[in-house]
A and B are shown apart, each in its own frame.
Chain A
């Protein structure tokens, strides 16, 4: 039974409309300017477009879900994992592996092994760093933001320092994997990523319901019988894996998470995380696919889609900060 059936129905309808729009944009992206009469041309365009399309869908889901969950865990809607340096941490770890193992090692040559090692190290370090950070500052958002920004540039400079003393051949190799973007997708790990995303979602499905309660604040959550610390830890691990996957596949996209989570919250005005996550991911898919269509067919690859995102996201972030002041 539901406490507010009418409002819920409306929210479900919004999600269906979003879903339909996503499907439409995907179909449009796959078929625009394709020569359907010649099967060889068709096969070629599909081969080019399918990995890109899948990567966009996966990245949108990973970033949207991770941002919503992360925001609810620290109870603030203008912070994203990215803002606190999770992306830079991933880049740093990736560099460290190249630095110590060298370009000939299995962890570099084999994309899957490389990704899995990245992932394990990322989960371990990020849960320790961010877990301690949240606990020590007692979830005080100002400190978290401050320390997070410092961490972000610290990881960045550490990575830069390493690059400078690196073997030039290793560096060359590293750069190829670091500049992943929507036009240069790390295709070898797509299947692995999808499996991982689904596994994590399956294991955390119960915690998502607890997240609704956790947004009432730590004390209320404990009062209502939630094992707070354990749940937060599990959620953080999930977020880390999602961010690692997104970064490995399409590279760092700074403001995407912020845009997606806030648009989803504004659109759905709901506290239900299943809805918010679905909303954020679908808005992500829609904007990424639409953006990519623009990039490929209007700007003919002159401007990559991440530039649009960073530009729009930066402005949107300022807008959020300024409008939050008033309220």
Chain B
């Protein structure tokens, strides 16, 4: 996926200014940056949830806007932060919606197999007949990820997947993301606030500041004292743990 000179304005105020970068296939890319830097807006535009005001997004050599929504749904999945369902829906029924782009509401035997796999993958077997609104935040988040897995797309975009999760669940979530990439060969793009999760689990990091890309590169290139202090205006210390640069700030 290639992004060229992407722009977005809200009420005349530029929030995304001329952003260009490329998303490498089969890797985990984390978007980081302070609040209001434009990372979630960029995520929204590359997933067609938000209309862009300028620039090009090419997905598989074709303009994103020219893709049929249904075809795109088989290639690219997005999970945003706020998901509340008013319906009485069980985990299994929710996960089954992941097959909607393929079979509509008439599921095939293959769909059922994918649904079962996704539920097992997210270790949700024991909850599969529970209603979504009766689950804890962590379980619900996992159910949504299972739906995305059932959707079986090459690209998975997650907007702050660790938001509102405790340390245990967010760590598991990040490990899960790593497995999605390593075992299932998916390209995962994340918006993250926790720098250490980004540093430890991703391959590339794209750091935003004021609607522009401050730095895009491998984890080692971006997670440095100089780059981070510049972006966040806070003093940083970098430590190496398990071969990965981790940040300390206070």
Contacts and interface: CB of A to CB of B under 8 A. Distances in A.
Q: Do A and B come from one complex?
A: yes
B101 interface: yes
Determine the interface band of chain B, counting residues with CB < 8 A from chain A: 35 or more
B69 A216 contact: no
A265 B89 CA distance: 12
Contacts of B70: 225
B87 A215 contact: yes
Interface stretch (B24-32, B106-114, B238-246): B106-114
B233 interface: no
Interface residues of A, number: 26
B78 A271 contact: no
Contacts of A222: 48-49, 69
A269 B85 CA distance: 13
Nearest to B102: A225
A223 interface: yes
A1 B80 contact: no
A211 B132 CA distance: 18
Contacts of A77: 86
Contacts of A3: 92-93, 96, 107, 112, 115
Contacts of B48: 222
B234 to A, nearest CB: 32
Contact of B83 (A2, A76, A220): A220
19 contacts: A1-B106, A1-B112, A3-B115, A209-B104, A212-B105, A213-B97, A217-B82, A219-B78, A222-B49, A222-B69, A223-B151, A225-B72, A225-B73, A225-B74, A225-B101, A226-B69, A269-B88, A270-B88, A271-B88
Given A225-B71, A271-B93, 9 more contacts: A1-B109, A2-B107, A217-B84, A220-B97, A222-B49, A223-B77, A224-B73, A224-B97, A226-B69
Interface of B: 47-49, 68-74, 77-80, 82-90, 92-94, 96-98, 100-101, 104-109, 111-112, 115, 129, 151
